[in-house]
């Protein structure tokens, strides 16, 4: 399993290319040959970058859904809308497709943030707004999500 670490501020050029920060590129090095999948996030107007190995694990789970249930088909269609494969080029750049750039409202300044096994790509202002909006109730959220007694050794 991939465990990525870090939040980075970057710029996107006029063609939608971003230079992958060297610290992140080192972490992604074992995955560069396989490539990545980039898609719209489910809950926020940001993008999610999956290493191909992580994407394949997720697709295996989704492939187990019963396709004779309309909700499952609707979910699969929405979840995979706009999905693209991408690669980091020889210069360390990643091209964000135009339709996904538009979805995330990415202009020039962005934030790349690790989210355990994937990377989120945000417009900088939207990222800061999302972090600020979540800060008020983060303690309550942390308690609800991580406060389970079954979580031995986590503090």
Residue 35 lies in a domain: yes
Q: How many domains does the chain have?
A: 1
Residue 60 lies in a domain: yes
Q: Is residue 86 part of a domain?
A: yes
CATH number assigned to the domain comprising residue 105: 3.40.1550.20
Phi, psi of 57 (to 5 degrees): -65, -45
Residue 59 lies inside a defined structural domain of this protein: yes
* Residue 93 domain-assigned (yes or no): yes
Beta strands in 4-135 (DSSP E): 7-11, 17-19, 36-40, 47-51, 84-86, 93-95, 109-115, 118-123
- The Cα–Cα gap between 50 and 54 comes to 6
pLDDT tens-place values along the chain, 155 residues long: 689 999 999 999 999 999 999 999 999 999 999 999 999 999 999 999 999 999 999 999 999 999 999 999 999 999 999 999 999 999 999 999 999 999 999 989 999 999 999 999 999 999 999 988 877 777 787 888 888 766 555 55
Q: Angle at the Cα of 145 (from 140 to 147), degrees rounded to 5? A: 80
Q: 12: domain range?
A: 7-124
CA distance 16 to 109: 11
For the entire predicted model, the pTM comes to: 0.88
């Amino acid at each position: 399993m991939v465990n990525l670490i870090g939040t980075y501020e970057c710029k996107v050029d006029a063609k939608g290319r971003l230079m992958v920060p060297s610290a992140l590129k080192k972490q992604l090095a074992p995955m560069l040959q396989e490539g990545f999948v980039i898609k719209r996030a489910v809950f926020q107007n940001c993008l999610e970058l999956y290493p191909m190995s992580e994407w394949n694990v997720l697709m295996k789970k989704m492939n187990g859904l019963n396709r004779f249930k309309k909700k499952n088909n609707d979910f699969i269609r929405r979840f995979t809308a706009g999905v693209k494969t991408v690669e980091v080029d020889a210069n360390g750049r990643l091209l964000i497709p135009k339709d996904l750039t538009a979805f995330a409202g990415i202009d020039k300044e962005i934030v790349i943030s690790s989210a355990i096994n994937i990377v989120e790509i945000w417009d900088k202002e939207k990222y800061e707004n999302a972090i600020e909006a979540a800060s008020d109730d983060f303690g309550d959220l942390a308690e609800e999500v991580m406060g389970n007694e079954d979580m031995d050794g986590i503090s």
